[in-house]
């Protein structure tokens, strides 16, 4: 791959978008490579992913404006679909994905971070949806995910004004879970990923599915979604081990993902 690196550290996989010349902007090739990197993740041995950008300046500075500038309507739609498919794959990926936002997260950068389960950012991070200043709408789910995350009023303000916000404001409005000094961001993301990975993987996956699918349903349906996923954990070895350990006043030495 030209623009993506993948490292495995224990149960944690780290995907880094590495296109420094364009501040890690997403062109079609980068999108295809993220897609391929996700397809290659070994779900037997990987329990959490971290998505980050290379360098200390930018997470992802948006979709590639150079590539988009000459697109026809049909090509624009196709580009939007490629991005949306990858972002949706991330959002529904069976294991949790933490975005470690290490700088600019603009347009498609803000959008890809919102497709992740949890956002941690560096203190120099900047978030925004500048698309209307370029004559387009957010095209990778920004109008939908931002409104769901921070509420319609704040999302509309950010999108209509095309105004960027800094890390502290992103934290204040609930767009990010926590802010760290740049030098500590990856360690913090790894620490959180390791905490997640210690828990029963089948249960963690079921929680992700229950939260995601439940949010798209009304409460009566949502509760049924939870019931079914709750039931699916029973008779797993991890459920037996977890409960037996509690009853024996012990800690599980390590969940088996079975």
Total H helices, total E strands in the chain: 11, 10
Q: How far apart are the first and last CA of the chain?
A: 32
Write down the least CB distance from residue 142 to ligand DAK, Å.
Answer: 7
Choose between 84 and 239: whose C-beta lies nearer to ligand DAK.
Answer: 84
Write down the least CB distance from residue 243 to ligand DAK, Å.
Answer: 46
Question: Coil, strand or helix: which one is 48?
Answer: strand
User: Contact residues for ligand DAK (CB under 6 A)?
Assistant: 22-23, 25, 61-66, 76, 79-80, 83, 104, 106-108, 130-131, 134, 136, 138-140
Choose between 166 and 209: whose C-beta lies nearer to ligand DAK.
Answer: 166
- Active-site annotation holder among 75, 111, 169, 187: 111
> Tokens for 21?
């010349």
CA pair distance 32, 243, nearest whole angstrom? 42
Choose between 83 and 96: whose C-beta lies nearer to ligand DAK.
Answer: 83
Q: Is 111 a catalytic residue?
A: yes
Determine the residue with CB nearest ligand DAK.
139
Q: Is 75 a catalytic residue?
A: no
DSSP, residue by residue, 207-240: HHHHHHHHHTS-HHHHHHHHHHHHHHHTTSHHHH
Write down the least CB distance from residue 64 to ligand DAK, Å.
Answer: 4
Write down the least CB distance from residue 121 to ligand DAK, Å.
Answer: 15
> Tokens for 194?
């390791």
Choose between 77 and 237: whose C-beta lies nearer to ligand DAK.
Answer: 77
**195 HSE (CA, 13 A, CB side):** 7
Please list the active-site residues: 111, 131
């Amino acid at each position: 791959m030209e623009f993506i690196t993948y490292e495995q550290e224990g149960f944690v996989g780290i995907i880094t978008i590495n296109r420094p010349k364009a501040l890690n902007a997403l062109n079609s090739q980068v999108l295809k490579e993220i897609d391929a990197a996700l397809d290659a993740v070994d779900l037997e041995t990987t329990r959490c992913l971290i998505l980050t950008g290379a360098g200390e300046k930018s997470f992802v500075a948006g979709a590639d404006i150079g590539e988009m500038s000459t697109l026809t309507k049909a090509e624009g739609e196709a580009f939007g679909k490629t991005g949306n498919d990858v972002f949706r794959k991330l959002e529904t990926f069976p294991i949790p994905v933490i975005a470690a936002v290490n700088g600019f997260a603009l347009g498609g950068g803000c959008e890809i971070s919102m497709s992740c389960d949890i956002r941690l950012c560096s203190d120099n991070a900047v978030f925004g949806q500048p698309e209307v200043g370029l004559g387009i709408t957010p095209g990778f789910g920004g109008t939908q995910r931002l409104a769901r995350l921070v509420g319609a009023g704040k999302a509309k303000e950010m999108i209509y004004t095309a105004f960027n916000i800094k890390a502290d404001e992103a934290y204040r409005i609930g767009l990010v879970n926590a802010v760290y000094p740049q030098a500590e961001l990856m360690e913090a993301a790894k620490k959180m990923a390791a905490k997640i990975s210690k828990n029963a993987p089948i249960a963690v996956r079921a929680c992700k599915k229950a939260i995601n699918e439940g949010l798209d349903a009304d409460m009566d349906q949502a509760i049924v979604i939870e019931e079914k996923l709750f039931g699916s954990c029973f008779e797993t070895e991890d459920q037996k081990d977890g409960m037996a350990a509690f009853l024996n006043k012990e800690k599980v030495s390590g969940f088996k993902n079975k």
